[in-house]
Amino acid sequence: MGVRLAEVTDPVEATALAPPAHKILQDLVSSGAALGWALPPAQGEVRDLLTELVEGVATGESALLVAHDDGTVVGLGYWRRYQRQTHRPHADLERVAVAAGHQGRGIGRALTEGLVASARKAGIEVLTLDARGDNERALALYRTLGFNEYGRLVDFVAVGHLRYDKVFYALDLRRPWPRL
Ligand SMILES: CC(C)(COP(=O)(O)OP(=O)(O)OC[C@H]1O[C@@H](n2cnc3c(N)ncnc32)[C@H](O)[C@@H]1OP(=O)(O)O)[C@@H](O)C(=O)NCCC(=O)NCCS
């Protein structure tokens, strides 16, 4: 069967997704992944996040994409529209995460491409993201999909006593698909 991507739109599905999604995020953050958590998130936090994302799907507020490999959840990612009134046409791609044992097989690329496509379909004008400056693998992936760096805060991300750059990327979806 292989890897399959699915958009999560049903709250019951979101609840069922919480334990495997939590496991992926917990394992990645425990081994130092740059996902915006210094400590692994609690399962309740992940469940609430997924529920909120799925509630927003119907109104074009958000999108949540999951990758399954032979029925097992191996990755996820989402975008959310900006809350600020003057930023409403735009959204932020907040987290793309692939389980450690499944990385390097094209799943992260497929998830990110799927999220860009769903943002385009939802009429999002600019899709932004930020990443930790040492996350070269993720940054390289985003650049190949047409994201450009528009800013950088030097030594901004604090993980214990360590400091990393926070890098800001954007993809303007009002322009034609950059790879065409
Ligand atoms: C970043 C992440 C989502 C990429 O997912 P993935 O499934 O491993 O990536 P893919 O196999 O789709 O590879 C995508 C690109 O990543 C880069 N890449 C993949 N494996 C790599 C490796 N071993 N070394 C360097 N770059 C690599 C390449 O640019 C690759 O492009 P290609 O398709 O032209 O080869 C994944 O590594 C991850 O979950 N990391 C931890 C969480 C995280 O940092 N998320 C991003 C937050 S901004």
- 87 in a structural domain: yes
Strand bridging mode 148-159 / 162-172 = antiparallel
C-alpha of residue 86 to centroid of ligand 1, in Å:
33
User: Which amino acid, one-letter code, is at 149?
Assistant: E
C-alpha of residue 85 to centroid of ligand 1, in Å:
33
- 179 in a structural domain: no
Q: Domain range for residue 61? A: 3-172
Cα–Cα distance measured from residue 26 to residue 31, given in angstroms and rounded to the nearest whole number: 9
Q: Which residues pair with 81 in a beta bridge?
A: 91
**Quick check: 179 pLDDT over 60?**
no
* Number of domains within the chain: 1
Cα–Cα distance measured from residue 126 to residue 178, given in angstroms and rounded to the nearest whole number: 13
- 180 in a structural domain: no
Whose tokens are 């899709």? That residue is 127
Global pTM? 0.94
Ligand 1 atom nearest residue 131's Cα: 48
Q: Supply the CATH number for residue 125's domain.
A: 3.40.630.30
Residue 32 tokens read as 């130092």
Question: Cβ of 99: how many Cβ atoms within 10 Å?
Answer: 20
- % of the chain exceeding 70 in pLDDT: 97
Average pLDDT over residues 138-167: 97
Helix, strand, or coil (residue 100): helix
User: What pLDDT band is residue 2 in, cutting at 50, 70 and 90?
Assistant: confident
C-alpha of residue 109 to centroid of ligand 1, in Å:
7
User: Which amino acid, one-letter code, is at 133?
Assistant: G
Tens digits of residue pLDDT in 19-68: 999 999 999 999 999 999 989 999 999 999 999 999 999 999 999 999 99
